[in-house]
């Protein structure tokens, strides 16, 4: 199977996984959110931040380093497997004994009990980290997709049952445990791999340079991606944390899902071209155009229908999350640029450059936080957007430098999709006053936006539009004719 076919197949299966999981998660969130209070989600949101950090430390960037190496053997995999398990136990014990301090910091006694259960997700995840890495390196995304769908479905059903039976915040806790446990068990079974009883210092030394840089980068990303949850929990109420985490969850289910697909599939795919900068540039150019072609209209449409969407899906008690959701959608317009540019630096092995960029990015973000922390949650997110616009240009410069792709060229190639998205957004606004029926209003806005976006792309014959039409003709219509 050719690299192009593997890339398309990988994108297809990751897309199925993400969107099938999205549908299940969406249904589960809607049902449980109607039962629980925003403060319940706020409590869990505070704890999952520490879990994210723990999982990053446990992986330590070795998963991506194994993929980048290209010729990892069973000794390499076994070594990293036992390292993951050992680190996960250490991290869990540290967090377990830190639970009283976490509860005192937020002045929420309930966190001490809940954290000891939630943090079990860290050693549970460690069991299958290598299995997931091996499947990704072989681009067997179909298997990964099935694992994701099944685990989300199982945990979602259990979460709903517990919420209806009055378990309150504990229904979210057990849902997290079941999600991670089922994922690890199925991945372990799917990959049919068992580690050898060996641990190679030599293997670790080979993987260490890139993995350490990726670990540093990963820690910075996770801490700062969740810093708003921590700050809102400290300076504001748990209900505010709940509104923010729900807005962030909906935003991630929409925009970051697509970015995550591209991020996962493009890295192992582009690694194949790491010795050919011309082909690497062409591959990157195509990926970034297609990604923005999809992300830009989705975000602008969600901004347009935000209030009505929250009223229909989550009821009026969650409406304060809508303005936060709109701001996160604006941020998501730039997020793919960060992710895809980082992939290029990973492909060419510039781990130190990635770390440098992330440090600069977070310094700018800290400055934005300092100026906005006492002005409310919305002001915090506006500061995040401003910081993102500054740093994305730096990111584009350094990654583009590796493949002779200037910032000006990149902007010229993606700007049409943003501009067409803005025009399509404006065409949808008049429909907000057509009807008092919220569902009908959303339907008219979506139709108006979609038609405008497709017509304008066809009129200006944008590259991404023509590429997708070509794929549809080749993969669907040609098969129908046969």
What percent of the chain is predicted at pLDDT more than 70?
A: 81
Residue boundaries of the structural domains of the chain? 1-225, 227-482
Average pLDDT for 355-378: 88
3-state secondary structure of 266: helix
Token pair recorded at residue 248: 């962030």
**Per-residue pLDDT at 271:** 65
In angstroms, the CA 374 to CA 368 distance is 12
Of 250-264, 268-282, 330-344, which one has max mean pLDDT?
330-344
In angstroms, the CA 252 to CA 260 distance is 9
**Per-residue pLDDT at 139:** 61
Q: How many CB atoms lie within 10 A of CB 96?
A: 12
pLDDT tens for 86-112 read 888 999 999 999 999 999 988 888 999
pLDDT tens for 7-61 read 555 555 555 555 666 777 778 888 888 888 888 888 888 888 888 888 888 776 6
Burial class, 126, CB count within 10 angstroms (exposed 0-12 / middle 13-18 / buried 19+): buried
pLDDT at 470 over 90: no
Token pair recorded at residue 133: 């890495």
Q: Which of 140-154, 389-403, 436-450 has the lowest mean pLDDT?
A: 140-154
pLDDT tens for 209-236 read 666 676 776 777 777 778 888 888 888 8
Token pair recorded at residue 384: 């995040």
The H helix count followed by the E strand count for the chain is 22, 0
**Per-residue pLDDT at 15:** 58
**Per-residue pLDDT at 2:** 47
Stated as kind and residue range, the H or E segment containing 330 is helix 321-332
Token pair recorded at residue 317: 């008690």
Average pLDDT for 138-158: 79
Contact 451, 295 (CB under 8 A): no
3-state secondary structure of 199: coil
**Per-residue pLDDT at 66:** 67
Residue 422 confidence class, pLDDT cut points 50, 70, 90: very high
For the chain, give the number of residues: 482
Token pair recorded at residue 445: 């806005």
Residue 436 is classified by DSSP as S
């Amino acid at each position: 199977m050719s690299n192009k076919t593997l890339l398309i197949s990988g994108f297809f299966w990751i897309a199925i996984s993400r969107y099938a999981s999205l549908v299940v998660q969406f249904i589960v969130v809607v049902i449980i959110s109607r039962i629980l209070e925003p403060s319940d989600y706020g409590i869990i949101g505070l704890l999952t931040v520490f879990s994210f950090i723990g999982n990053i430390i446990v992986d330590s960037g070795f998963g991506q380093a194994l993929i980048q190496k290209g010729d990892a053997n069973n000794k390499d995999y076994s070594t990293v497997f036992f390292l993951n398990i050992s680190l996960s136990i250490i991290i869990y014990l540290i967090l377990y004994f830190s639970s009283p301090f976490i509860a005192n910091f937020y002045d929420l006694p309930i966190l001490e009990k809940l954290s000891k259960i939630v943090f079990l997700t860290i050693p549970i995840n460690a069991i299958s980290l290598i299995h997931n890495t091996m499947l990704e390196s072989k681009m067997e995304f179909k298997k990964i997709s099935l694992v994701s769908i099944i685990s989300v479905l199982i945990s979602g059903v259990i979460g709903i049952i517990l919420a209806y039976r009055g378990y309150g915040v504990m229904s979210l806790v057990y849902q997290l445990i079941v999600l991670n446990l089922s994922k690890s068990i199925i991945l372990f079974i799917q990959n049919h791999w068992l580690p050898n009883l060996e641990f190679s210092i030599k293997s670790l030394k080979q993987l260490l340079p890139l993995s350490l840089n990726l670990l540093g980068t990963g820690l910075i990303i996770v801490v700062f991606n969740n810093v708003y949850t921590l700050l809102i929990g400290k300076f504001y109420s748990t209900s505010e944390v709940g509104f923010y985490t729900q807005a962030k969850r909906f935003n991630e289910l929409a925009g970051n899902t697509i970015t995550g697909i591209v991020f996962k599939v493009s890295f192992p795919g582009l690694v194949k071209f790491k010795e050919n900068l011309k082909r690497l540039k062409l591959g990157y150019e195509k990926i970034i155009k297609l990604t923005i072609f999809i992300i830009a209209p989705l975000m602008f449409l969600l901004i347009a229908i935000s209030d009505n969407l929250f009223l229909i899906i989550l009821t009026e008690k969650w409406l304060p999350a809508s303005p936060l959701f709109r701001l996160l959608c604006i941020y998501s317009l730039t997020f793919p640029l960060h992710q895809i540019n980082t992939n290029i630096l990973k492909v060419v092995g510039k781990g130190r450059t990635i770390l440098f960029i992330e440090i600069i990015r977070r310094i700018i973000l800290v400055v934005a936080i300092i100026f906005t922390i006492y002005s409310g949650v919305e002001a915090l997110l506006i500061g995040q957007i401003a910081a993102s616009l500054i740093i994305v240009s730096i990111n584009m410069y350094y990654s583009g430098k590796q493949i002779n792709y200037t910032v000006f060229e990149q902007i010229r190639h993606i700007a049409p999709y943003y501009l067409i998205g803005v025009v399509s957004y404006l065409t949808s606004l008049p429909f907000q006053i057509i009807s008092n029926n919220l569902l009908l209003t959303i339907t008219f806005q979506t139709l108006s936006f979609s038609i405008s976006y497709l017509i304008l792309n066809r009129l200006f014959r944008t590259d991404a539009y023509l590429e997708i039409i070509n794929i549809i003709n080749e993969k669907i219509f040609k098969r129908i004719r046969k």
